[in-house]
A and B are shown apart, each in its own frame.
Chain A
Amino acid sequence: MKPGWRRGLGRFASDRASALGLALLLVLIVAAIFAPILAPFPGDVADFHTANRLRAPDAVNWLGTDRMGSDLLSRILFGARITITIAVVAVGSAVLVGVPIGLVAGYYGGWPSNLLMRVSDIFLAVPQIVLAIAIAQTLGPSIENVILALSITYWPFWARLVFAETRSLKNEVFIESAIALGASPLRVMTLHVLPNIASAIIVRTSIGMGATILTAAALGFLGLGAPPPTPEWGRMIAESREFLPEAWWYATVPGVAIFMVVMGFNLLGDGLRDFLDPRIRRGAGVK
């Protein structure tokens, strides 16, 4: 249990921005898990009813229908599953690759660390979306390839963050004394450095999720994501282009969904950063 978390949790929940962020994400998660139950027309993920195409929002289709006549609300809800999958898997693998690399590079220094950091610099030098497009193009359009492209381009952010934090933490007295006590490097890295930089990683991860969803949506928009009829939000926006501006709901609905989810992650990340700030967490008050 992290020290002082009870007081911090109270502060976290009372901060409106982070509470909103948390709420938005809960909506996303609930939508993803309970899509089959919540969707009024669960079959519309694959089915189409051309007679109903491009209906404006009304009592039957609360958010209107798309060009195939499928209910947008249902497709959005199922699309939430795809969104979460992409975000979690892509960011998760980026974290699992980037964090150890950053740890080792930051702890040891010298030429191996230089090498690792220059490699990550190479990846960082190319705009993420360009690199992701290139990879996804090469491998072919599918959700799996989108995830792969995103994780390959994203791990350097964590590597660099962890590298910087590890390097500065290495000068702390308690790290030096753990080494003086005879702790092995592995022990120091995993049991001492990692817990102390975890908050920075968590915050970056939360914000990274939001950015990843945006990039994934962009890839989907460009047609590099899943093939139709997968209800991926970016792809839905792409499909809507030719029907604008009359079928305004077609682009707006997935757009708002993306917006809310990304904002949710960003607000949560900001709130987590304040919540996890050691000064607030560990404030013992004035003596």
Chain B
Amino acid sequence: MTQAILSLGDLQVHFAVRGPFNRRVGSIKAVDGVSFDLMPGEVFGLVGESGCGKSTLGKAIMGIHKPTAGEIWFEGQRIDGLTPAARRAVRHSLQYAYQDPGASLDPRWKIGSSLHEPLVIHTDLDAAARDARIRSILEAVGLPDTHLDLYPHEISGGQQRRVGLARILTLHPKVVILDEPTSGLDVSVQATVLSLFRGLRETFDLTYVLISHDLAVIRTMCSRVAVMYLGRIVESGPTDAIFDRPRHPYTRSLVAAIPKIGGVRVTRDFWLQGEPPDPGNLPSGCRFRTRCPKATDLCAREEPALSALAPGAVACHFPD
């Protein structure tokens, strides 16, 4: 049985809400008890709407946010409490791709220098060896060698994106966290970007954690999906099961909200009302109960735990 390459154990990331005089008056539980195992080679999707905590989760895994509680295990080693110096070594294998990887390039550095930088920081390769590796990566992302002497603003946005990805790949990481990789892109460009990701995954044998609010993207890319709502996973399982037979009422509403061209119009009878509650002031019990058509007293008293329900897991007292 293969070992999980990345494991989260009841991870919590809370942000203090400060009132006057910098006193802590409350906290926003951006991530409130998330656990999952990431298997090597898979594409794991984290989907949810704004405020659900998926981006915070991605950054916490990377060490950009410090977890308030819980554990993060990577390749058998616990990484959540490491010193910054020890953390740097981990970053070699665990990388993070921003929504716009092109923005991760220093505008005053030539592209070649930006590509060399990860290798300079993490490896002892000499200039020639670094050069060779960079050229092979450029080829893998479909960019010509001539780009090495250009500045980011001298190439198009799409090419900047590829350079940003190439930079991450120079370290041959094992796991890459993709944070909203297609957000803001036109549909036709999205398709190109997604096929680029797929190709890179095969070439470099990568494992992805794909964070997105776009269900269509999740559906085409991911093998397993976890749905997040207000800091917790409410349902997880294989992609097809999540989309075809959702069990949690929130998942059902998400799937119901996607327009299906050629089919029935979803907006006509869309049933989910209202908005998510204030994250600083969560409802008691199940946090979805204020909008859930099935809510009962039990839901107000007791928060449902994420429990296995083949083929995945659901956190609901009355799953479908």
Decide if A and B touch, CB cutoff 8 A: yes
Interface residues of A (CB under 8 A from B): 2-4, 172-174, 176-184, 187, 192, 195-196, 278, 282, 284
Residues of chain B in range 114-134 having any CB-CB distance to chain A below 8 Å: 117-118, 121-122
Known: A3-B153, A196-B108, A278-B107. A176 touches B121 (CB 8 A): no
A192 contacts across to B, CB distance below 8 A: 106, 109
Contact B117 A173 (CB under 8 A): no
Question: How many chain B residues have a CB neighbour from A under 8 Å?
Answer: 28
- Known A192-B106, A195-B108, A282-B153; judge A178-B117 contact (CB<8 A): yes
CA distance A282 to B107 in the complex (A): 9
- The answer to whether A181 touches B103 (Cβ under 8 A) is no
* Interface residue? B96 (CB, 8 A): yes
Q: Which residues, 149 to 184 on B, are CB-close (under 8 Å) to A?
A: 151, 153-154, 164, 167
- In the complex, the answer to whether B104 meets A177 with C-beta atoms within 8 Å is yes
CA A3 to CA B64, docked complex, whole Å:
31
Q: Is the CB of A182 within 8 A of B121?
A: yes
Contacts of A284 in B (CB 8 A): 153-154
Which 9 pairs, one residue from A and one from B, show the smallest C-beta to C-beta distance?
A: A177-B104, A182-B88, A173-B103, A182-B91, A3-B151, A282-B153, A195-B108, A174-B106, A182-B121
The answer, among B64, B105, B122, B154, for a CB contact under 8 Å with A182, is B122
Question: Does B98 reach chain A (CB closer than 8 Å)?
Answer: yes
Could you tell me which B residues sit within 8 Å of A by CB distance?
62-64, 87-89, 91-92, 95-96, 98, 100, 103-109, 117-118, 121-122, 151, 153-154, 164, 167
Chain A's closest residue to B122 (CB) is: A182
Q: Which residues of the other chain, B, contact A184 by a CB distance below 8 angstroms? A: 88, 121
Given A2-B108, A3-B154, decide whether A173 and B121 contact each other with a Cβ distance below 8 A.
Answer: no
- Chain B residues contacting A176 (CB-CB under 8 Å) are 64, 104
A181-B154 in contact (CB<8A): no
Contact across chains for B117 and A181 when beta carbons are under 8 A apart: yes
Asked whether A180 lies within 8 Å of B91 as measured between CB atoms, the reply is yes
* B121 touching A174, Cβ below 8 Å: no
- Asked if A180 contacts B64 (CB within 8 A), the reply is yes
Residues in chain A near residue B118, CB distance under 8 A:
181-182
From the candidates A3, A177, A179, A196, name the one contacting B98 in the complex (CB within 8 A).
A177
Residue of A nearest to B91 (CB): A182
**Contacts of A278 on B, CB cut-off 8 Å?**
107
Tell me which of A179, A182, A184, A195 has the highest count of chain B C-beta atoms within 10 A of its own C-beta. Answer: A182
The answer to whether A174 and B153 touch across the interface, beta carbons within 8 angstroms, is: no
Question: Min CB distance, A32 to chain B, in Å?
Answer: 33
Q: Write the chain A residue with the least CB distance to B157.
A: A287
- Name the contact of A173 in the complex, choosing from B63, B100, B151, B154 (C-beta under 8 A): B100
Q: What 16 additional pairs, Cβ within 8 angstroms, besides A180-B96, A182-B122?
A: A2-B108, A173-B98, A173-B103, A173-B104, A174-B106, A178-B106, A178-B117, A181-B95, A181-B117, A182-B87, A182-B92, A183-B117, A184-B121, A192-B106, A192-B109, A196-B107
Evaluate contact between A174 and B103: CB separation under 8 angstroms.
Answer: yes
Cβ–Cβ < 8 Å partners of A195 in chain B: 106, 108-109
Cα A181 to Cα B63 in complex, Å, equals 11
CB distance from B245 to the nearest CB of A (A): 37
**A181 B107 Cβ-Cβ under 8 A:** no
Q: What residue of chain B has the Cβ atom nearest to residue A198's Cβ?
A: B108
Complex alpha-carbon distance, A283 and B288, angstroms = 48
A231 to chain B, nearest CB (A): 43
Which of A3, A178, A180, A278 has most B Cβ within 10 Å?
A180
Q: List 30 A-B contacts (CB under 8 A).
A: A3-B108, A3-B154, A173-B98, A173-B100, A173-B103, A173-B104, A174-B103, A174-B106, A176-B104, A177-B96, A177-B164, A178-B104, A179-B64, A180-B91, A180-B95, A181-B91, A181-B117, A181-B118, A182-B87, A182-B89, A182-B91, A182-B92, A182-B118, A182-B121, A184-B88, A195-B106, A196-B107, A282-B107, A284-B153, A284-B154
| A contact residues around B91 at 8 Å (CB) | 180-182
Query: With contacts A3-B151, A181-B121 known, is A174 near B100, CB below 8 A?
Result: no
- Name the contact of B104 in the complex, choosing from A174, A187, A196, A282 (C-beta under 8 A): A174
Q: Nearest CB to that of B171 among chain A residues?
A: A181
A282 / chain B contacts, CB cutoff of 8 Å: 107, 153
Contacts of A196 in B (CB 8 A): 106-108
Q: Which residue of A lies closest to B94 (CB)?
A: A180
User: In chain A, what residue has the closest Cβ to B155?
Assistant: A284
A282-B88 Cα distance, complex, nearest whole Å = 33
Q: How many angstroms from the CA of A96 to the CA of B104 in the assembled complex?
A: 29
C-alpha spacing A184/B121, complex, angstroms:
8
CA distance A77 to B151 in the complex (A): 44
